[in-house]
Amino acid sequence: MQPIEQLSLAEIDLSDLEFWALPLEVREGAFLTLRNQAPICRFEEADLGFLPPGPGYWAISRFGDLMEASRHPEVFSSAQGATSIPDLPEVFLDYFGGMINADDPKHARLRRIVLRAFTPKRVALLEGRIEEIAAELIDRARELGSFDFVTEVASQLPLRVICEMMGIPASRYQEVLERSNIILGVADTEFVPEGEAIDMALLNAGYQLSELMREIGAERGVNPRDDIVSALVNAEVEGEALSPEELASFFVLLVVAGNETTRNAISWGLWLLGENPSERARWQRDFAALAPAAVEEIVRYSSPVIFMRRTLTQDYILGGTALGAGEKVILLYSSANKDAAAFVDPFSFDVTRGDNRHVGFGGYGPHYCLGAHLARREITAIFAEIFAKIPTLVPIAPPDRLRSNFINGIKHLRVAIA
């Protein structure tokens, strides 16, 4: 793919959802224009209906500026909201808060408790289950012939891994998937029909996921098992454990960040390999040796999370632009991952790319993705199974993209065994 600079700088409006529905080449062309002409550019906020428009925000599109902001969390704060441009009412943060919307010391405390639950023994068991589930999914898929890769494979692997990890009964997996789809697809009419109140759809989805985890957490508090939920409920760090509310919020974060983003990396990965058959052939010839580089390239190129937001705690000059205390910025990971200043030939998909310091898992600061290792294992496992069992599986139609400014998602991808 090569960018098409179809839009002038004045025509680029990141707050307009129609912008995010443009062909990917045009979107990448707009990011290229921003990087070249206005790398830190100010935009007005959209009117969402249930919230009044906010004061506006700055979009950071260059890799170097984004990395600088990521490494200064004391200035670029996550506490006022990391995943949404508007300031959400307090009731939303009850469900969608968690560590991603926190600064230190709260963020460090939550992360420390969570990491202690992932003992080497539990991680080894989890990695084994990833490979088993991937094998089950591909064994079933090769009997189908033609199918929707997203619904049958890409969404199922991370969903099942997370649900098993958190003790969710199999009978409720579909419920978890549907609620997470609503949270990240709230602007897409497939998940929230036109005319339905967006704020209520979000709240209901968050409430239902939170209540599910409160039920599981309460049961594990009384009858602990040798699993991650029991460890999170009963773990203590400096005399503190996760509260029921913090456990529920962590689960929502896992479901949304771990399920949705990994499934989109897998989906885009199959599409990219279909669009670049020579790269696919290279990886298939030497899967194990090239897998680490290929997985990083899939994440870089697809950038499943388009941005994260920060709020300045003080005045700061970034890339020659004066930013004021209290102002909002969005870190455009999707743009930074195609910055020619950081990546050689950035619009080429190269499964052997070296020194791939992409920001597909966030900037290299305290908010670097907690589940990055898990995501890498899942992506590797599913393509290992595909190449071994259905090596001629290819997309047969363009991806049906999610209508979102936050997640670079694929809702459906028709594939067939050639």
Q: What would the two tokens of residue 45 be?
A: 């906020």
In a domain, 262, yes or no: yes
Strand partners for 331: 60, 308
In a domain, 73, yes or no: yes
Q: Considering the entire predicted model, what is its pTM?
A: 0.93
In a domain, 1, yes or no: no
If you average pLDDT over residues 337-349, what whole number do you get?
97
Look at residues 336, 280, 289 and name the one whose alpha carbon lies nearest to residue 68.
Answer: 336
If you average pLDDT over residues 267-277, what whole number do you get?
97
Distance CA 56, CA 415 (A): 41
DSSP-derived pairing of the beta strands 414-417 and 393-395: antiparallel
How many degrees, rounded to 5, is the angle at CA 33 between CA 341 and CA 398? 95
CATH of the domain at 316: 1.10.630.10
In a domain, 3, yes or no: no
Helix axis angle for 261-275 and 277-285, nearest 10°, is: 110
Residue 232, CA distances (Å) to 29, 107, 206, 243, 297 in order: 45, 15, 20, 9, 33
Q: What are the residues whose beta carbons fall under 8 Å from the beta carbon of 131, sequence distance 6 or more?
A: 381, 384
Give 320's pLDDT tier (boundaries 50, 70, 90): very high
How confident is the model at residue 213, as a pLDDT?
Answer: 87
- Determine contact, residues 361/91, Cβ cutoff 8 Å: no
- Give the pLDDT confidence of 349-387 residue by residue, as tens digits: 999 999 899 999 988 888 888 788 889 999 999 999 999
If you average pLDDT over residues 117-122, what whole number do you get?
76
Look at residues 189, 241, 243, 183 and name the one whose alpha carbon lies nearest to residue 213.
Answer: 243
In a domain, 2, yes or no: no
**Residue 212 — φ and ψ, nearest 5°?**
-60, -45
Is pLDDT at 210 greater than 90 in this prediction?
no
> Reduced to 3 states, what is the DSSP secondary structure of residue 339?
coil
Q: 95 lies in which domain range? A: 9-417
**Residue 364 — φ and ψ, nearest 5°?**
-85, 70
Question: Of the segments 37-41, 95-99, 366-370, which one has the largest average pLDDT value?
Answer: 37-41
Burial class (CB in 10 A: 0-12, 13-18, 19+), 318: buried
Least confident of 2-11, 62-71, 255-264: 255-264
Q: What would the two tokens of residue 71 be?
A: 């490494």
Give the chain's domain count: 1
How confident is the model at residue 141, as a pLDDT?
Answer: 95
